A and B are shown apart, each in its own frame.
Chain A
Amino acid sequence: MQILLFLVKVLIFPGALFTACVGLFLAGIDRKVIAHMQKRIGPPIRQPMYDFFKLMGKETIVPARANKLVFLGAPIAGFISLAIVMLFIPIFGFTAFSGTADLIVILYFLTIGGVALIVGGSSSGSPYAGIGISREMVTMMSYELPFVLVLLSVARKVGGSTLAFSMNQIADYQAANGSLLFSWSMIPAAIALLLIIPAEVGMQPFDVAEAETEICEGPLIEYSGAALGMFKLNTAMKMCIMTGLFTSLFLGGIRTGTVVCDAIIFVAVCAVVTLVCITTIHAVTARLKIEHLFKFYWTVVSGLALASLILVWMGL
């Protein structure tokens, strides 16, 4: 029974399957809403799912210059790590796993997702991919600093004078004291995290790495078929994870008592967060240059996060 429950947690809820479905759903909402914003009808909400299954049905070409093992292994590695990340994000009252340092685990497993894209792109041997991975890595470096600051300020806020890297503790704290978003010292950190999400997911204006018009989708250029589908799925899963992370870090505290209701509310809140931070920003901005992106994250966003950290540190 224990093992069965474990399997269900890892594979179905809230592991691989749930993340993938919610991610594809969020991606669909994003595309639909952006179409409406532009006065278009737009694709159906299940469009990302069609894209994924179509790619599964196509040939996967391994270029002659690519290292086959790495080229095909990278998307799977990314998928595994992202499926594991979701296990650590509490769905309001429900947590699959919780340790003492979930925040660091989440940080590193998300990094693996990015590294899988970079290594896979790099192994394809294309110079476009070379430029793409360079930009992807710089993007990663730029959002990592504010991300770390946000996580530390949450940990300090929740833990007081002890170490609180545990998501469970954060969820409990919010259930007891109300959502962190409504404590004013955390607002800058929340804004910073909202600005980090598009870069983590690779959406405009922070999608220099996969700029399809200038460098032919960068690291993904040589990918086709199932491998490309896995990467598209990974992006969708990242969307689910990042919005879910925002939800449980800043909007936690809602507890209906039943897992199903919690999950439904969770998905709804995630969708709202997606609309706020991904869709709206995507619709109103154009792509940034890589050096501006770096500067933006290390000054504006890091400044916001740092302000929050200092406020929290002073006990506010």
Chain B
Amino acid sequence: MMQHFPVLAVMLLFLAAFLVEIFGSKNKVIRNGLTLLATTNALVMTLALIKPVMMNGEVISYWMGNWAPVSGYAIGIGYEVDALSLFFGILVTATFWLSSIYSIGYMNKDHHLGHYYTLFLMLSGSVLGLVFTGDIFNMFVMIEIMTFASVALTAFRNDSEGALEAAFKYLVIGSIGSSSVLAGVAMLYSQCHTLNMAQLSSILSGGLTPTSVVAFGLIVAGFGVKSYIVPFHTPAADAYAAAPTSVSMVFSGMVNKAGVYGMIRMVYIVFRAMDHSSVQMLLAVFGAVTMFVGVTMALTQHEFKRLLAFHSISQIGYVITAVSLGSALGLTGGLFHAMNHTLFKGLLFLCAGAVLYRTGTTNLDKLGGLSKKMPQTTICFLIGAGAISGLPPFNGFASKWMIYQGIFTKALTSGNFLYVIITVTALIVSVMTLASFIKVTQAVFFGQLREEHNDVKEVPAVMLIPMYIMAALCVICGTIYPLVSKYLLFPAANASLNVGDYIDKMMGAGYAEAAGVPTMLVEPVTFSFWNPVLWLILFGIVFFAAVIVILLGTNERGKILTAGEKPEAKYATFFSGEEEMFSQVGGSDLFWGFKKNWKGYYKVFTELHSGIVTDYTSYTVIATAIIVMCLFIFMR
């Protein structure tokens, strides 16, 4: 029974996609109902797999057409859900479920929603399929479906500024990435004559031939494009900003995580290449550059969503750096950060969507003072901003802390000064992230309200519910994270490090040993620093103490006065005695002292993000070539 769940979850999403197109293009109820049904079904089915996979350590396998492996050869397409797949699977289904709820409210002003939901469900099905599949070519097919659906969704509001252009760039860069994955898969097939990942892993453990090294390089580069690390990040910034927000959330939350998943799957499980320090260094450098470039570019943006897009890139840099460490601690931290990024970046995009929905603009210089009109959105945004900046007690702090600890441990054990630089970069990037969210907070939610936004209202409940769920998850994952670590992260990290076990479970017991892949037991990662219960108590105590002191002092303490309905001079903002006037410190006016010192840097990097497709493709091709060459030289 259980083993049908993965394939059913994927297939029902695809089925619903076609049903929506047939029956739902006119009828709103059928459309929304089908979408919600399919995504809820996928969520329930993946959650049901937690017990066998995460707790009992099973691997759910399903062979299409019952083509189970015969005498050690896996020819059929298999769905293999191990803990790593399931971890990402839960993220995928949860993200799409929340996004489909949000879409009901957010998209109701658009036309041709049948197409929207069709593409949306195709996208969800393909990402879920990519995560669940155990066949490397099937993975490629899913990547391509994902790219199509993403491109079409990016261009969905094709009359909005830049949507078509963004879609075109996304398509071109994306298909270069998938081409290199395809070429890598083909080369791998020529060496191993199989497409099943477990079998590939056992064959490749005998040592990599030069062709497989090239294949490895191409596949890493391909998944690098899919996870939008620098210098492949350019279309991501455009597409996330141009797509409808419910889709941007999915892009940033899950579509680039699919690339990260592919990277982990390939590097850790299929090629088991993390023993090579060259691979670690290469990925670490790419990760560090990604987080730095992402955040510095985000600091100069004037568009709310484009700024968030650059932050997505930056946070993916954290994940890649953490994953590159090759240790259980790093991998756990990376997976946790990937999960947290899905939560808080999804939340932030939803807040941006709420602002766009009510005011019709996301230009930071044309907004301001919305906190009086949209207080609930503001609170959600502040939680998301705190989480992404890694402030305690939110989830970002826990995962970022694991990452710092992982990198610095790596620096000490390997004695490599490079890792110290990366630790410092990671910490500084965290502060810059905070800075750019301060900028958004000031420019959008605080400051002064513009006259044209006087009749702005809070968004409808159907949009607020996903925001609240995500905000709650941000806090919960930050506080009860030992449970998260025990039931989600550790099994996933274990599954990616303990390759022999995976091969055995897929291909039959004893197969891994015959191929020379050891089954090892990974030690659970322990964290003693952050005892969330203690922290909650600490917060509680100090808070209550403050409250008690305040209450005891009601008689003596001066009163807290708030403005009434009619304007009074006493409650007016101080303008050196002048009458209150409109004067907003906009987003682009902030951080002058910083920008002045970084003028040279910004000059170069704004020119590099030129917006010309051929420039972007050149970066992509050159970087792919560099990755392949580096790996070819250092891994042989």
Instruction: Write the residues of chain A forming the contact surface with B, with a CB cutoff of 8 angstroms.
Output: 6-7, 10-11, 15-16, 56-65, 67-70, 72, 76, 79-80, 83-84, 87, 97, 99-102, 104-105, 107-109, 111-112, 115, 118-119, 122-128, 130-131, 133-135, 137-138, 140-142, 144-145, 148-149, 152, 155-156, 159, 161-163, 165, 216, 221-222, 225-226, 289-291, 293-295, 298, 309, 313
Instruction: Write the residues of chain B forming the contact surface with A, with a CB cutoff of 8 angstroms.
Output: 369, 371-372, 375, 378-379, 382, 386, 389-392, 397, 401, 404-405, 408-409, 412-413, 415, 417, 420, 423-424, 427-428, 431-432, 434-435, 438-439, 441-442, 445-449, 527-531, 534, 537-539, 541-543, 545-546, 550, 553, 556-563, 567-568, 570-576, 583-585, 589-594, 596-597
Q: Contacts of B528 on A, CB cut-off 8 Å?
A: 99-100
**Chain B residue at minimum C-beta to C-beta distance from A149:** B424
- Bound complex: CA of A80 vs CA of B585, how far in Å? 29
Question: Do B412 and A133 touch (CB < 8 A)?
Answer: no
Q: Contacts of A289 on B, CB cut-off 8 Å?
A: 593
Taking A123-B371, A137-B435 as contacts, is the C-beta distance between A67 and B446 under 8 angstroms? Answer: yes
Question: Do B423 and A152 touch (CB < 8 A)?
Answer: yes
Question: Do B420 and A309 touch (CB < 8 A)?
Answer: yes
Question: Do A127 and B431 touch (CB < 8 A)?
Answer: no
**Chain B residue at minimum C-beta to C-beta distance from A139:** B593
Taking A69-B375, A80-B542, A137-B591 as contacts, is the C-beta distance between A159 and B412 under 8 angstroms? Answer: yes
Shortest 4 CB-CB contacts between residues of A and residues of B = A130-B585, A290-B593, A99-B529, A64-B563
CB distance from A296 to the nearest CB of B (A): 10
* CB within 8 Å: A-B pair count: 234
Q: Contacts of B408 on A, CB cut-off 8 Å?
A: 152, 155, 163, 165
Complex A-B: 20 CB contacts under 8 Å: A57-B557, A59-B558, A59-B560, A60-B561, A63-B573, A64-B571, A65-B372, A70-B371, A72-B560, A99-B529, A100-B405, A101-B529, A112-B392, A115-B386, A133-B442, A134-B589, A137-B435, A140-B431, A226-B550, A290-B593
Question: Do A226 and B573 touch (CB < 8 A)?
Answer: no
Question: Do A226 and B558 touch (CB < 8 A)?
Answer: yes
Question: Do A80 and B539 touch (CB < 8 A)?
Answer: yes
CB distance from A148 to the nearest CB of B (A): 5
**Chain A residue at minimum C-beta to C-beta distance from B537:** A6
Question: Of B371, B562, B575, B591, which one neighbours A62 at CB under 8 angstroms?
Answer: B562
Taking A65-B573, A289-B593 as contacts, is the C-beta distance between A225 and B543 under 8 angstroms? Answer: no
Question: Do A59 and B561 touch (CB < 8 A)?
Answer: yes
Question: Do A111 and B431 touch (CB < 8 A)?
Answer: yes
Q: Contacts of A144 on B, CB cut-off 8 Å?
A: 427-428, 431
Question: Do A101 and B401 touch (CB < 8 A)?
Answer: yes
12 new A-B contacts, CB < 8 A, other than A59-B561, A65-B369, A127-B583, are A62-B571, A63-B571, A84-B539, A101-B405, A104-B529, A111-B431, A124-B446, A130-B447, A137-B434, A138-B435, A141-B428, A152-B424
Question: Of B415, B427, B589, which one neighbours A148 at CB under 8 angstroms?
Answer: B427
Question: Do B412 and A156 touch (CB < 8 A)?
Answer: yes
CB distance from B445 to the nearest CB of A (A): 8
Question: Do B558 and A58 touch (CB < 8 A)?
Answer: yes
Question: Of A83, A115, A119, A124, which one neighbours B542 at CB under 8 angstroms?
Answer: A83
CB distance from A287 to the nearest CB of B (A): 13
Question: Of B424, B541, B563, B570, which one neighbours A10 at CB under 8 angstroms?
Answer: B541
- Bound complex: CA of A176 vs CA of B453, how far in Å? 64
Question: Do B392 and A67 touch (CB < 8 A)?
Answer: no
Question: Of A57, A104, A162, A298, which one neighbours B404 at CB under 8 angstroms?
Answer: A104
- Bound complex: CA of A58 vs CA of B557, how far in Å? 7
Q: Contacts of A87 on B, CB cut-off 8 Å?
A: 538
Question: Do B558 and A222 touch (CB < 8 A)?
Answer: no
Question: Do A145 and B428 touch (CB < 8 A)?
Answer: yes
Interface centre among B446, B556, B573, B574 (most CB of A within 10 A): B446
> Helix, strand, loop or mixed for chain A's interface?
helix
Question: Do B541 and A134 touch (CB < 8 A)?
Answer: no
Question: Do B584 and A127 touch (CB < 8 A)?
Answer: yes
> Helix, strand, loop or mixed for chain B's interface?
helix
Interface centre among A10, A57, A130, A298 (most CB of B within 10 A): A130
Taking A131-B585, A152-B423 as contacts, is the C-beta distance between A61 and B571 under 8 angstroms? Answer: yes
CB distance from A212 to the nearest CB of B (A): 13
CB distance from A131 to the nearest CB of B (A): 6
CB distance from A7 to the nearest CB of B (A): 7
Question: Do B546 and A62 touch (CB < 8 A)?
Answer: no
**Chain B residue at minimum C-beta to C-beta distance from A299:** B597
Q: Contacts of B427 on A, CB cut-off 8 Å?
A: 107, 144, 148
Question: Do B584 and A61 touch (CB < 8 A)?
Answer: no
Question: Of A65, A142, A155, A313, which one neighbours B417 at CB under 8 angstroms?
Answer: A313
Question: Do A10 and B538 touch (CB < 8 A)?
Answer: yes
Q: Contacts of B563 on A, CB cut-off 8 Å?
A: 62-64
Taking A67-B375, A105-B392 as contacts, is the C-beta distance between A57 and B585 under 8 angstroms? Answer: no
Taking A68-B562, A130-B585, A216-B574 as contacts, is the C-beta distance between A291 and B542 under 8 angstroms? Answer: no
Question: Do A161 and B413 touch (CB < 8 A)?
Answer: yes
- Bound complex: CA of A130 vs CA of B527, how far in Å? 39
Q: Contacts of A295 on B, CB cut-off 8 Å?
A: 597
CB distance from B597 to the nearest CB of A (A): 5
Q: Contacts of A162 on B, CB cut-off 8 Å?
A: 412
**Chain A residue at minimum C-beta to C-beta distance from B424:** A148
CB distance from B386 to the nearest CB of A (A): 8
- Bound complex: CA of A6 vs CA of B575, how far in Å? 47
Q: Contacts of A309 on B, CB cut-off 8 Å?
A: 420
Question: Do B570 and A141 touch (CB < 8 A)?
Answer: no
Question: Do B392 and A290 touch (CB < 8 A)?
Answer: no
- Bound complex: CA of A165 vs CA of B390, how far in Å? 18
Interface centre among B397, B431, B445, B557 (most CB of A within 10 A): B431
Q: Contacts of B401 on A, CB cut-off 8 Å?
A: 101, 104
Q: Contacts of A123 on B, CB cut-off 8 Å?
A: 371, 446
Question: Do B392 and A109 touch (CB < 8 A)?
Answer: yes
Q: Contacts of A60 on B, CB cut-off 8 Å?
A: 558-561
Q: Contacts of A97 on B, CB cut-off 8 Å?
A: 534
Question: Do A79 and B572 touch (CB < 8 A)?
Answer: no
**Chain B residue at minimum C-beta to C-beta distance from A97:** B534
Question: Of B539, B584, B596, which one neighbours A130 at CB under 8 angstroms?
Answer: B584
Question: Do A63 and B572 touch (CB < 8 A)?
Answer: yes
- Bound complex: CA of A109 vs CA of B538, how far in Å? 13
- Bound complex: CA of A130 vs CA of B585, how far in Å? 6
CB distance from A281 to the nearest CB of B (A): 20
CB distance from A6 to the nearest CB of B (A): 8
Question: Of A15, A141, A313, which one neighbours B594 at CB under 8 angstroms?
Answer: A141
Question: Do A65 and B448 touch (CB < 8 A)?
Answer: yes
Taking A61-B570, A108-B397, A161-B412 as contacts, is the C-beta distance between A226 and B560 under 8 angstroms? Answer: yes
CB distance from B297 to the nearest CB of A (A): 16
Taking A64-B567, A99-B529 as contacts, is the C-beta distance between A112 and B391 under 8 angstroms? Answer: yes
